[in-house]
Structure 1
Amino acid sequence: MALSSEQFAGYMRQMAGGALITIELFAASFALALLFGTLIGIVTQTRNPVVRALWKTYASIFTGVPSLLVIFLVYYGGSAMMTALFGRAKPFEVTPFGAGLVSLTIVYAAYVADLVHGAVQNLPRGQFEAAAALAIRPRHAWIYVILPQLARLALPGLINVWLVMLKDTPLVSLAGLNDIVAHSKLAAGATKEPFVFFVIASLFFIAFSWVSLAATRRLEMRLASGMAEVKS
Structure 2
Amino acid sequence: MPQMGFVEQLGIGALMTIQVAVLSYLLALAIGTVFALATLKRRLPVDVIWQTYASIFTGVPSLLVAFLFYYAGSGMIASLFSLVGLSVTVDVSPFAAAVAALGMVYGAYLADIIRSAIQNVPPGQFEAARVLLVPRPTAWLFVILPQVLRLALPAMTNMWIVVLKDTALISLIGLKEIMAYAKLASGVTKEPFIYYMLASVFFLGMTALTYVVSQRIEQWTQRGYRPVAAKERAHAL
Deviation digits for residues 15-74 of structure 1 (CA, Å, limit 9, x no counterpart): 111111111111111112112211221111122121122212211221121111110110
Residue 123 (structure 1) aligns with: 121
CA contact 1:46–1:52 (8 Å) conserved in 2: no
TM-score normalized with structure 1 length: 0.93
Q: Note the C-alpha offset of 1:91.
A: 2.8
CA contact 2:81–2:88 (8 Å) conserved in 1: no
Q: Which amino acid aligns with 1:216?
A: S
Structure-2 separation of matches of 1:130 and 1:61: 39
Aligned partner of 1:34 among 26, 29, 38? 29
Residue 24 (structure 1) aligns with: 19
TM-score normalized with structure 2 length: 0.91
Aligned partner of 2:145 among 144, 147, 161? 147
Residue 5 (structure 2) aligns with: 10
**What percentage of residue pairs aligned between the two structures are identical?**
46
Structure-2 separation of matches of 1:159 and 1:199: 24
Structure-1 separation of matches of 2:88 and 2:56: 30
Structure-2 separation of matches of 1:152 and 1:224: 7
Structure-2 separation of matches of 1:57 and 1:89: 28
Q: Which amino acid aligns with 1:220?
A: E
Q: Note the C-alpha offset of 1:134.
A: 1.0
Deviation digits for residues 169-193 of structure 1 (CA, Å, limit 9, x no counterpart): 1211100000010000001111111
Deviation digits for residues 83-134 of structure 1 (CA, Å, limit 9, x no counterpart): 1222465631110000001111101111111101111111111111111111
1:56 maps onto 2:51 in alignment: yes
Structure-1 separation of matches of 2:129 and 2:10: 52
Count residues with an aligned counterpart. 227
1:186 maps onto 2:150 in alignment: no
1:211 maps onto 2:209 in alignment: yes
CA RMSD of aligned residues (A): 1.5
Residue 195 (structure 1) aligns with: 193
Long gaps (5+) in structure 2: 232-237
Structure-1 separation of matches of 2:119 and 2:228: 22
Residue 226 (structure 2) aligns with: 228
| DSSP 3-state at the match of 1:200 | helix
| DSSP 3-state at the match of 2:59 | coil
- Cα 1:229–1:127 change in 2 (3 A) is closer
Structure-1 separation of matches of 2:30 and 2:185: 37
Structure-2 separation of matches of 1:96 and 1:126: 47
Residue 105 (structure 1) aligns with: 103
